[in-house]
Amino acid sequence: ELKVEQNPLFLSMQEGKNYTIYCNYSTTSDRLYWYRQDPGKSLESLFVLLSNGAVKQEGRLMASLDTKARLSTLHITAAVHDLSATYFCAVDAHFSGGSNYKLTFGKGTLLTVNP
Amino acid sequence: KAGVTQTPRYLIKTRGQQVTLSCSPISGHRSVSWYQQTPGQGLQFLFEYFSETQRNKGNFPGRFSGRQFSNSRSEMNVSTLELGDSALYLCASSRQGGDTDTQYFGPGTRLTVL
């Protein structure tokens, strides 16, 4: 059974600081996704990482994937209050060509950015 | 472009009842997935439909079922409700449902079972 572990689960940061959220998974896969969820809201897609070594950046967020280590990271640069949210990583258990969605999610990281 | 819509947004039921939730995907999207989100178990995959066919199913009991219509709208049904079924039910749509697609999530239906 595929397991996805995120750490930390809770992260309190000061504005302007950098930090990294880690996502480890238990089986081979080269499909990893990052989502953001604001309180009481739905999930917003942030990044889709589709191959080993993939790196994607959007604003102050950068995600990377190391399939050999079964590890993805979400790096936050110079955090601002607007980044406060819960961040989820998810791994697709079916990774062969033509596979379909069957995402396994991590527990989520609740990020609070303090002024 | 309209996003994924889910109805109803909130629902209160009692144990033993059944419930039907509806999801309308983004226009042109043919894949619809359903997820259950609870504080204890987190986000869990329920099932995925594409062109009216269930292609994937998570580890949920048979009380949870779904279907997809020819216009790609999807419904999920939970029969004989239990207290533990209280959750936020999210549906997500994508064009083809392939793993390179981006899934777009709806606002969710919050189900409370009393």
Residue of B nearest to A90 (CA): B43
Q: Which of A48, A90, A103 sits opposite B100 (nearest CB)?
A: A48
Q: Do A101 and B108 touch (CB under 8 A)?
A: no
Mean pLDDT computed over A41-52: 89
The confidence band for B100, taking pLDDT boundaries of 50, 70 and 90, is low
**Contact (CB, 8 A) for B35 and B45:** yes
Q: Which of A31, A44, A107 sits opposite B99 (nearest CB)?
A: A31
Q: Which of A48, A105, A107 sits opposite B102 (nearest CB)?
A: A48
Q: Do B43 and A88 touch (CB under 8 A)?
A: yes
Q: Where are the alpha helices (DSSP H) in A2-91?
A: none
User: How many angstroms away from the CA of A108 is the closest CA of chain B?
Assistant: 8
- pLDDT at B97 exceeding the cut of 70: no
Find how far residue B15's CA is from the centre of its chain.
20
Distance of alpha carbon A84 from alpha carbon A76, whole angstroms:
11
Percent share of chain A, pLDDT over 90: 67
* Interface of chain A toward chain B, CB-CB under 8 angstroms: 31, 33, 35, 41-45, 48, 50, 88, 90, 92, 94-95, 98-108
**What pLDDT is recorded for position B65?**
97
Name every residue whose Cβ is closer than 8 Å to that of residue B43 and which is 6 or more positions away in sequence: A88, A90, A103, A105, A108, B35, B36, B37, B90
The confidence band for B55, taking pLDDT boundaries of 50, 70 and 90, is confident
